[in-house]
Amino acid sequence: MAAPKRLIIGLGNPGSIYEKTRHNIGFEVIDAIAGRIKGSFSTKGQSQIAWGSWRGKPFGLVKPQTFMNRSGVAVEELVRKNGLAPQDILVIVDDLHLAAGVLRIRGDGGTGGHNGLEDIGDWLDSNTFPRLRIGIGNDYGPGQQAKYVLEQFTEGERTLIDPAIEKARDAALTYVTDGIMTAMNRYNG
C-alpha cells in the first residue's frame, strides 16, 4: 500500500507586492522546501501546488492563491479532492505572539487569533490539523498590526528569519517522513 499523501501548506498573500513580507513567511518556507526537492509549481484550482516526495514519502507543497484571510476555501478544495483528513496537512503561518525566528509546532489547537488559521478551521469544520508557527515579532505601535505584517523584514530581522525558514523547512520534511510528534520533539522552541 502506498504511503498516504500529505500536504504542506504555506499561507501568504499572492502577488509580487507581498513577496518577502512578514505575512508571507509561509510561502517562503514552501519555496525553500521546493528548492530542496526540486519541485515546480503549477496552478490547480485556487492554489499553486507542487507534488514530490521526500525519502519515499509523497506529499504536496501548496501556496493558496486566495488572500491569507480566505485560505480555507483553497485548503478545503485540496483536502476534499485528495481524500485527506485534517491531520494530513501541515499549515505554516506567521505568528505575532512569538519572537522573530522562534518556531512552534502543534498537532492541533486554537488559532491564536490568526485569521488564516481561523478560516481554514471554519472551512474544514475542524481545528485538528497540525500547524507550524514562525515568530515574526510584534514591534509595532497601536493600530499598526496590519501595516506591520505587510512590511518586509528588516535586514536585522533577516538574520533571525532566514535560519528559521531553513529550520521550518526541515521540520516540515520531518513531519512528512516521521509525523507530527517527531517534528514537535525535534524542532519546537
In tens digits, the chain (189 residues) has pLDDT values of: 355 589 999 999 999 999 999 999 999 999 999 999 999 999 999 999 999 999 999 999 999 999 999 999 999 999 999 999 999 999 999 999 999 999 999 999 888 889 999 999 999 999 999 999 999 999 899 999 999 999 999 999 999 999 999 999 999 999 999 999 999 999 996
Model-wide pTM > 0.75: yes
For residue 47, give the H/E element and its range.
Answer: strand 47-54
Domain count, the chain: 1
Q: Let me know if residue 40 belongs to a domain.
A: yes
- Give the range of the structural domain holding residue 174, as residue numbers without chain letter: 6-187
Q: Let me know if residue 1 belongs to a domain.
A: no
Q: Residues near 130 by Cβ (< 8 Å), separated by ≥ 6?
A: 87, 89, 90, 91, 105, 106, 107, 108, 175, 180, 183
Neighbours of 17 (CB within 10 A): 8
Q: Let me know if residue 153 belongs to a domain.
A: yes
Determine which one of 6, 23, 63, 167 is catalytic: 23
Q: Quick one: pLDDT at residue 4? A: 57
Q: For 66-119, give the DSSP string.
A: S-GGGHHHHHHHHHHHTT--GGGEEEEEEETTS-TT-EEEESS---TT-HHHHH
| Domain of residue 85, CATH code | 3.40.50.1470
Task: Answer yes or no: 97 catalytic.
Answer: no
